[in-house]
């Protein structure tokens, strides 16, 4: 099936989202 | 007649779900922390009672909410470990998901643990290992003279999976070329 893949750069970008605080 | 409502421990358990607008992960994970009391024997029972679950998450954003508030492994003192395992898998050899498995172990000189741990868990959460459901979790162990990171998988006899995990580790951790990597089955560790 489909797998949810994220690279390091994308994961680090999500860190600054208001949802991550 | 009165009906008795039974709450099974299974349904009573809290399962993490992604919030609105968050990026779901392929799997849910739980953070655990353990610290060995000096001088105590490391029996299975004392190991289990020393290990504390910090919490579970289902999305990238929920992960950062935990991680950003956690102390970095390089700043831990004493004999401590962080464990990040798929939700429902205990970070113990005895867990059904682990008992036929093993782990890649990388010993790190002091000063590298925080960066390597972050790169390792980001690769795991982002499904960079490409080994289906084989990954169980990862551990960073802070020790006196060196630190150790490890990644655990389900099937120690699956050579293709083990090779792929090793190659991905080399790529994502960006380790010095002389770094020694060792694979240990959990049955060997028990001995």
8 A C-beta contact, residue B89 and residue B134: no
Interface contact flag, B19 A19, Cβ < 8 Å: yes
Interface contact flag, B125 A6, Cβ < 8 Å: yes
Higher pLDDT among residues B45 and B150, named by residue: B150
Give B79-89 pLDDT, tens digit per residue.
999 999 999 99
Separation CA B151–CA B166 (nearest Å): 10
| Segment B119-144 mean pLDDT | 97
Separation CA B58–CA B88 (nearest Å): 13
| Among the partner residues B60, B65, B68, nearest to A6 by beta-carbon distance | B60
| Segment A1-19 mean pLDDT | 95
Separation CA A16–CA B120 (nearest Å): 20
DSSP three-state, residue A2 = coil
Strands B24-35 and B80-86: antiparallel
8 A C-beta contact, residue B52 and residue B31: no
Interface contact flag, B61 A20, Cβ < 8 Å: yes
């Amino acid at each position: 099936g489909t797998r949810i893949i994220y690279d390091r750069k994308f994961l680090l970008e999500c860190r600054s989202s208001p949802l991550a605080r | 007649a009165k009906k008795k409502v039974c709450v099974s421990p299974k349904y009573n358990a809290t399962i993490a779900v992604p919030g609105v607008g968050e990026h779901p992960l392929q799997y849910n994970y739980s953070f655990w922390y353990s610290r060995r009391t000096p001088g105590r024997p490391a029996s299975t029972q004392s190991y289990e009672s020393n290990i504390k679950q910090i919490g579970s998450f289902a999305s990238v954003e929920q992960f950062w909410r935990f991680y950003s508030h956690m102390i970095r492994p390089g700043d831990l003192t004493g004999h401590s470990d962080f464990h990040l395992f798929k939700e429902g898998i205990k970070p113990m050899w005895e867990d059904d998901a682990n008992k036929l498995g093993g782990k890649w172990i990388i010993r790190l000189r002091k000063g590298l643990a925080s960066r390597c741990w972050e790169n390792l868990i980001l690769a795991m959460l982002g499904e960079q290992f490409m080994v289906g459901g084989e990954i169980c979790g990862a551990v960073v162990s802070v020790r006196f003279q060196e630190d150790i990171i490890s990644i655990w998988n389900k099937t120690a006899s699956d050579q293709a999976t083990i090779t792929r995990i090793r190659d991905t580790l080399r790529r994502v951790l960006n380790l010095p070329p002389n770094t020694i990597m060792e694979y240990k089955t959990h049955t060997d560790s028990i001995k």
